[in-house]
């Protein structure tokens, strides 16, 4: 059964917005801070948190994963789901009004549009984190532990699995999330993912950043060696 979720106000950390703007661990300058506060106020008026999830049995054999009746081949996803006999397929969004406001800002104030976009990215991540907290509390009663989220495009899981993931979760009807012909998610600030359910927590559970093989991502949350041996 596909379940639906909605959310109310969620705190969106200014530090996360700064990270998506490329500030890293540096503080924003005063002018950007003012615009950031303005965009957070605007964000609160435009977001509409929705999500859906489907709980399914899975099996992993080598690099092949059977998700309900869907067979997926991915070495990195198989490693991520190793030890799990079930998974949650999820799709979440902050809604279409954000997209319209973002487009309007791009025409009248590109600087605000960029910051507003970063705020939207931080908001969808905060919503996904909130959902996972809810689900961990719920499923912990069954002795289950959630892995981190694993989305199409991570590791060697091809982005072409995205349509199947949205179809399986009935994301169009249950969360209002669809794909363009070019494969872009609409609304833009949306996330789809696979979450493994395991019988024991893993002390070394990898984060989504650790599952990603991109070496030079400006938004990475972890320190990793980069090309040339630099960090």
| pLDDT tens by residue, 170-181 | 999 999 999 999
Domain presence at residue 69: yes
Mean pLDDT of 206-227: 50
Distance CA(106)–CA(102), nearest Å, equals 6
Domain presence at residue 217: no
Are 127 and 94 within 8 A, CB to CB?
A: yes
Are 129 and 49 within 8 A, CB to CB?
A: no
Domain presence at residue 226: no
Are 61 and 31 within 8 A, CB to CB?
A: no
Give backbone dihedrals phi and psi of 182, rounded to 5 degrees, phi first: -85, 0
Domain presence at residue 88: yes
Distance CA(98)–CA(173), nearest Å, equals 19
Domain presence at residue 230: no
Band (pLDDT 50/70/90 cuts) for residue 201 is: confident
List, in order, residues 6 or more apart from 204 with CB less than 8 Å away: none
Give the DSSP letter of residue 147: -
pLDDT at 202: 59
pLDDT at 69: 84
- What range defines the domain where residue 120 resides? 2-211
pLDDT tens for residues 2-19?
999 999 999 999 999 999
The rounded mean pLDDT for the chain is: 90
Model confidence, pTM = 0.88
Domain presence at residue 221: no
Give backbone dihedrals phi and psi of 159, rounded to 5 degrees, phi first: -60, -15
Are 219 and 20 within 8 A, CB to CB?
A: yes
- Tell whether the model's pLDDT for residue 125 goes beyond 60: yes
Are 89 and 167 within 8 A, CB to CB?
A: no
Distance CA(142)–CA(147), nearest Å, equals 15
pLDDT at 226: 46
Q: How many domains does the chain have?
A: 1
pLDDT tens for residues 46-79?
999 999 999 999 999 999 999 988 899 999 999 9
Domain presence at residue 224: no
Nearest residue to 127 via CA among 39, 211, 221, 43: 43
Q: How far is CA 138 from the centre of its chain?
A: 20
The CATH number that applies at residue 150 is 3.40.109.40
Domain presence at residue 228: no
Distance CA(61)–CA(55), nearest Å, equals 20
């Amino acid at each position: 059964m596909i379940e639906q979720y909605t959310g109310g106000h969620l705190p969106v950390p200014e530090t996360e917005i700064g990270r998506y703007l490329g500030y890293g661990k540096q503080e924003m300058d005063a002018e950007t801070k003012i615009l950031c506060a303005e965009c957070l106020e605007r964000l609160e008026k435009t977001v509409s948190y929705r999500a859906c999830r489907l709980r399914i049995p899975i099996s992993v054999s080598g690099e092949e994963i059977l998700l309900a009746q869907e067979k997926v081949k991915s070495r990195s996803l198989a490693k991520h789901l190793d030890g799990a006999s079930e998974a949650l397929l999820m799709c979440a969004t902050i809604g279409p009004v954000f997209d319209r406001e973002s487009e309007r800002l791009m025409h009248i104030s590109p600087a605000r549009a960029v910051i507003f976009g970063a705020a939207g990215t931080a908001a969808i991540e905060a919503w996904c984190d909130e959902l996972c907290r809810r689900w961990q509390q719920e499923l912990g009663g069954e002795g289950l532990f959630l892995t981190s989220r694993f989305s199409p495009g991570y590791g060697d899981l091809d982005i072409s699995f995205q349509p199947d993931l949205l179809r399986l979760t009935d994301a169009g009807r249950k969360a209002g999330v669809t794909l363009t012909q070019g494969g872009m998610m609409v609304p833009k600030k949306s996330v789809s993912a696979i979450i493994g359910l395991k019988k024991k927590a893993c002390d070394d559970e990898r984060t989504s950043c650790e599952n990603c093989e991109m070496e030079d991502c400006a938004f990475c949350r972890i320190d990793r060696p980069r090309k040339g041996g630099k960090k």
